[in-house]
Amino acid sequence: MTIQEIREYLGRFFDSVELAGNGDVEISGPAKIETAHQGQVSFIANEKYIRFLAVTEASLVIVHRSMCVDEFIDQRSFIKVGDPYSAFVFLLQKFAPPRTIAAKGIAPTAVIGEGVSVGEGVSIGEYAVIGDRCSIGSNVVIGAHTVLFQDVSIGADSILFPHVTCYNGTVVGCRVVMHSGCVIGADGFGFAPQSDGSYVKIPQMGIVEIGDDVEIGANATIDRATLGSTVIGRGAKIDNLVQVAHNCRIGEDTVIAAQAGISGSVTIGRQCMIGGQAGFAGHLELADRINVAAQAGISKSFLQSGISLRGYPAQPMRDQLKHEAMLRNLGAMKEKLDRLESELKKLKEG
Amino acid sequence: MTIQEIREYLGRFFDSVELAGNGDVEISGPAKIETAHQGQVSFIANEKYIRFLAVTEASLVIVHRSMCVDEFIDQRSFIKVGDPYSAFVFLLQKFAPPRTIAAKGIAPTAVIGEGVSVGEGVSIGEYAVIGDRCSIGSNVVIGAHTVLFQDVSIGADSILFPHVTCYNGTVVGCRVVMHSGCVIGADGFGFAPQSDGSYVKIPQMGIVEIGDDVEIGANATIDRATLGSTVIGRGAKIDNLVQVAHNCRIGEDTVIAAQAGISGSVTIGRQCMIGGQAGFAGHLELADRINVAAQAGISKSFLQSGISLRGYPAQPMRDQLKHEAMLRNLGAMKEKLDRLESELKKLKEG
Amino acid sequence: MTIQEIREYLGRFFDSVELAGNGDVEISGPAKIETAHQGQVSFIANEKYIRFLAVTEASLVIVHRSMCVDEFIDQRSFIKVGDPYSAFVFLLQKFAPPRTIAAKGIAPTAVIGEGVSVGEGVSIGEYAVIGDRCSIGSNVVIGAHTVLFQDVSIGADSILFPHVTCYNGTVVGCRVVMHSGCVIGADGFGFAPQSDGSYVKIPQMGIVEIGDDVEIGANATIDRATLGSTVIGRGAKIDNLVQVAHNCRIGEDTVIAAQAGISGSVTIGRQCMIGGQAGFAGHLELADRINVAAQAGISKSFLQSGISLRGYPAQPMRDQLKHEAMLRNLGAMKEKLDRLESELKKLKEG
């Protein structure tokens, strides 16, 4: 692919794609700016990488349209766009080698239940087990060993990697990606305490609904609702080993980093960003576009959109940073207190 | 099922089940009080839901026997019991649709080792692998793709969902539920440091023993003991993604919420409640009926039963709440300190 | 195995192995000092267990060469070495019963792709799926249901337990142990935010490289790099449910306890010890031989080797312990402040 062809490809995504330098050079693939070789394309989206502009071996660097690169165009070419990071991502998509998750068609060892509907172009891998009355949309890829219980519906163009488990009734949208080991729709953790200290299991009769364009990480768990649905909104991204408990509602385009834990009946708004290992108490609500710091402990609802939360128990960033500054200042407070004590003593004696 | 039949069914569990209103109405299923429709049954166990008493569409509401509902019995019927929440749970069990985890009998693709004993009414799913000398109790259900190593024993009426793994020698009681992806009996994390900085693996020769009526969540891990047994006591409930390390002993009817981590050789008493993401240092002990708050870090033993723990390092609730109040008061302390300083200065100058 | 034979066996590992007492007694197996019976071997490596020296039923106790045991050699025998703990570990290895993870040879139900190379003495279990062009070293054991995508390479003598998943291109060294449910090489969590609040997936084109002698716990997840490799250094030990994100580099002989989470592009040095549930922000670096306390939150790089870190945000142990002592002292500070206030008041009035 030549630089000129790359420019044309990026023209699909950006109004303005400007080329500085030679457009005829052949580009073999993408690389990080610090390790790129001749013939490769890289990018700079962050000031601290500008220093590589002069020394990288990359034949093509994608930069912000505001960047002046005149002094380097003898050595390499540049493409200027409004969002060089996204441009590089689109290029990665172009160069990404195809990955075979399951061969086209239905593997002879796959077990397909009764009344299953299978769309066009579906791939189902070795030893996959598809329960009765499942519906598999067109071009869906189901990896080896993935198990769908009865009445699971998978939307078109979704990819389920090997060793995914979807319990009965799970509804999955289109273009969803589910990584290996994730378990969707296991029973919510509900037990009614009895007077003798034992528990009676509360049947978990609801389901999980996953919107379009969701991605779910390896070994993540999303529990079915007790009644109704646990809902993962369109475009949400859920990292590895995340726990989403029964009856949660995760808003559209919300991102949840690894090992975060969302307790039962929590509602999280749209476009929130939840840090890794953050934890949520049950039955609370977060507004849209809230950022939660890693390891934070959310103990109550926050209904003002756009704020950032941090600490345990979590509070708005400004309050928490002030609190942390005060904590760091404790030594100085102690010194001042001791000084006042001794001055006061002198005064009394004096 | 009519309201009268529901009343009779609940009579199996409660001494007193009182009907107020029409008993002939047919009930189609359960629902939450805020979304229930005509023909459905719901319940009120919490004061904050009493407001729905007047507006719900439910045809039957289960309430506490002390509640006065006279003004509503024209619109709907009521059943009064001592524990409306548990009554509703028993009703959920009645209405829960059957869930097929594996068809009756042994799937032709299941691989059964030598010397395996299989009880009456067992279901073993597609591609399950049962090691030599396993013992499968009557009415056990083993899901597709579940793997038992050699010498695993599963008690009667237990349910292993698909994709469960039990290492060799695991002993599982009766009526145990194990959700997909849980791994029972993997090697404890034991390595002996050598003088060159490397490690020698400590063979993990023990097993895991799981008592009757235990439930284990999706992708939870319970490691085998180095010598002897890791023990999960009867009736304990373990949520998704929980880690129980080698040689732990979890007491009967203890509940451990998602993503909590119990380090090696920890002993937890009976009827404890461990919050989500709580962590335990190794080799410590908790008495019975201790509550541990979510995200708490338990760094030492607590031998007084019935207390609540919170914070990092965790301390008894009263001490920790006092400590947290003091932390919140830091700003006021700083202000007072500054005021005293200026008053003292005036006094000295004055 | 007689005590004399045990002495000879340990002679392979230690320069000096001294026998005190009768060497002819037959030893049936190892046990903990507090539960050992006649005919068993145990050890004492920790002062607090010395009290068992007089009362244990063990026929052989391994102790440090400096320990005086003369008064007990009438009742039992002793072997004295420089490292009794490691000596016991070597004995455990000797006594550990063989564990069959997969029968010798390739199970008839295993699916082997095209162009796969398989070394001598390999065992591949039931329903394992080996992708095209994989390379399986000699004596490798692959458990039932384990799935390797294309182009995976497994070094000699490695053991993959059942239900392991390795995505395409994963490179695994020799003598590696991977426990059930671990997922190696799933896509890193990378999404480019778009102006409308949605995300575009960043293709994850790199791989995971795992060095020799690594052990990876059950349900742990190690993500592939965006470009290049996520690297787990030789001898590293990774516990259950640990998350290692894309582009991390974990140093040789570093140990990571359960449920710790390492964010993207973190570099951890050699021989570090990372506590359970510890978390790391992205793009930071830790020097060699750093200890991180359980539940700590590492928010910046620490480049001085050999230090210990603790707290949130984590700081060097001495600073953190001083900080925690100051926190515990808050009540005393408050009292002193109130006392000064009243004294000052008296002084002003007086």
Residue of C nearest to A179 (CA): C186
pLDDT at B48: 85
Does C31 lie in the same domain as C155? no
pLDDT at A151: 97
Residue B150's pLDDT band (boundaries 50, 70, 90)? Answer: very high
Residue C350 scores a pLDDT above 80: no
* Domain at B136, CATH number: 2.160.10.10
pLDDT at A221: 98
Chain B: touching chains (3 or more CB pairs < 8 Å)? A, C
pLDDT at C98: 83
A100 belongs to a structural domain:
no
A310 belongs to a structural domain:
yes
Contact A263/B258, CB-based, under 8 Å?
yes
A310 and chain C: CB distance < 8 Å anywhere? no
Active site residue C246: yes
* Structural domain harbouring C66: 3-95
* Per-residue pLDDT tens digits for A127-176: 999 999 999 999 999 999 999 999 999 999 999 999 999 999 999 999 99
* Per-residue pLDDT tens digits for C208-226: 999 999 999 999 999 999 9
C100 belongs to a structural domain:
no
C221 and chain A: CB distance < 8 Å anywhere? yes
Chain C: touching chains (3 or more CB pairs < 8 Å)? A, B
Out of C86, C163, C271, the one facing B192 most closely (by C-beta) is C86
State the smallest CA–CA distance between residue B197 and chain C in angstroms.
6
pLDDT, mean of residues A78-107: 94
pLDDT, mean of residues A178-185: 98
B163 belongs to a structural domain:
yes
Residue A205's pLDDT band (boundaries 50, 70, 90)? Answer: very high
B330 belongs to a structural domain:
no
Residue A47's pLDDT band (boundaries 50, 70, 90)? Answer: confident
Which residues in chain B are closer than 8 Å to C235, comparing Cβ atoms? Answer: 198-199
**How many C-beta neighbours within 10 Å does residue B316 have?**
16
Q: Which of C244, C218, C213, C215 is nearest to C231 (CA)?
A: C244
B333 belongs to a structural domain:
no
What is the Cα–Cα distance from B251 to B193, expressed in whole angstroms?
Answer: 32
**Boundary residue ending a domain (B95, B125, B142):** B95
B163 and chain A: CB distance < 8 Å anywhere? yes
State the smallest CA–CA distance between residue B326 and chain C in angstroms.
7
The residue written with tokens 């912000």 in the block is A64
pLDDT, mean of residues B102-116: 97
What is the Cα–Cα distance from A167 to B179, expressed in whole angstroms?
Answer: 10
C25 belongs to a structural domain:
yes
pLDDT at B318: 93
**Boundary residue ending a domain (C47, C71, C95):** C95
Residue C147 scores a pLDDT above 80: yes
Does A179 lie in the same domain as A115? yes
Does C64 lie in the same domain as C128? no
pLDDT at C201: 96
**Residues C279, C298 contacting (CB under 8 angstroms):** yes
pLDDT at A194: 92
In whole angstroms, what separates CA B25 from the centre of its chain? 35
Does C331 lie in the same domain as C309? no
CA triple B13-B18-B21, angle to 5 deg: 135
What is the Cα–Cα distance from B256 to A193, expressed in whole angstroms?
Answer: 14
Residue B350 scores a pLDDT above 80: no
Residue A231 scores a pLDDT above 80: yes
pLDDT at C194: 92
pLDDT, mean of residues C250-277: 98
**CA dihedral over B332, B333, B334, B338, signed as positive or negative:** positive
pLDDT at A242: 98
A125 and chain C: CB distance < 8 Å anywhere? yes
Amino acid at A327: L
A146 and chain C: CB distance < 8 Å anywhere? no
Report the mean per-residue pLDDT for chain A: 95
Report the mean per-residue pLDDT for chain C: 95
**Boundary residue ending a domain (A63, A95, A127):** A95
Lowest mean pLDDT across A3-17, A188-202, B123-137, C333-347? C333-347
State the smallest CA–CA distance between residue A202 and chain B in angstroms.
5
Sort B48 into a burial class: Cβ within 10 Å, 0-12 / 13-18 / 19+: exposed
Residue of B nearest to C289 (CA): B197
Does A15 lie in the same domain as A86? yes
What is the Cα–Cα distance from C349 to C343, expressed in whole angstroms?
Answer: 10
Tell me the catalytic residues of B.
246
Amino acid at A84: P
* Per-residue pLDDT tens digits for B47-90: 888 899 889 999 999 999 999 998 898 899 999 999 999 999 99
What is the Cα–Cα distance from A149 to B100, expressed in whole angstroms?
Answer: 8
Contact A86/C194, CB-based, under 8 Å?
yes
pLDDT at C300: 97
List CB contacts of A201: < 8 A, sequence separation 6 or more. A187, A190, A191, B89, B93, B177, B215
Which residues in chain C are closer than 8 Å to A143, comparing Cβ atoms? Answer: 147
What is the Cα–Cα distance from C79 to C56, expressed in whole angstroms?
Answer: 15
Does B139 lie in the same domain as B72? no
Does B165 lie in the same domain as B75? no
From residue C259, give the alpha-carbon distance in Å to each of A52, A73, A259, C220.
37, 49, 8, 8
pLDDT, mean of residues B210-234: 97
pLDDT, mean of residues A106-122: 98
Give how many domains chain C has, as a whole number.
3
Does C29 lie in the same domain as C10? yes
State the smallest CA–CA distance between residue B162 and chain A in angstroms.
7
* Domain at A78, CATH number: 3.40.1390.10
C218 and chain B: CB distance < 8 Å anywhere? yes
Contact B181/C271, CB-based, under 8 Å?
no
Residue A46's pLDDT band (boundaries 50, 70, 90)? Answer: confident
pLDDT at B99: 87
Residue B14 scores a pLDDT above 90: yes
C296 and chain A: CB distance < 8 Å anywhere? no
Residue C97 scores a pLDDT above 90: no
Residue C205's pLDDT band (boundaries 50, 70, 90)? Answer: very high
What is the Cα–Cα distance from C247 to A173, expressed in whole angstroms?
Answer: 30
**Which residue would you say has higher pLDDT here, B284 or B345?**
B284
Out of B202, B221, B327, the one facing C240 most closely (by C-beta) is B221
Residue of C nearest to B224 (CA): C218
pLDDT, mean of residues A111-117: 98
A326 and chain C: CB distance < 8 Å anywhere? no
What is the Cα–Cα distance from C4 to B349, expressed in whole angstroms?
Answer: 87
pLDDT at B47: 83
State the smallest CA–CA distance between residue A159 and chain C in angstroms.
13
Residue C54's pLDDT band (boundaries 50, 70, 90)? Answer: confident
What is the Cα–Cα distance from B154 to B134, expressed in whole angstroms?
Answer: 8
**How many C-beta neighbours within 10 Å does residue A343 have?**
17
CA triple C237-C238-C242, angle to 5 deg: 170
Does C324 lie in the same domain as C303? no
pLDDT, mean of residues B31-59: 91
Contact C149/A100, CB-based, under 8 Å?
yes
Amino acid at C236: A
B15 belongs to a structural domain:
yes
Residue A48's pLDDT band (boundaries 50, 70, 90)? Answer: confident
Does B285 lie in the same domain as B235? yes
Does C273 lie in the same domain as C125? yes
Which residues in chain C are closer than 8 Å to B327, comparing Cβ atoms? Answer: 327, 330
Active-site entry in A37, A163, A246, A323: A246
Lowest mean pLDDT across B316-320, C179-183, C250-254? B316-320
B145 and chain A: CB distance < 8 Å anywhere? yes
Does C85 lie in the same domain as C38? yes
pLDDT at A110: 98
Percent of chain A at pLDDT > 90 equals: 88
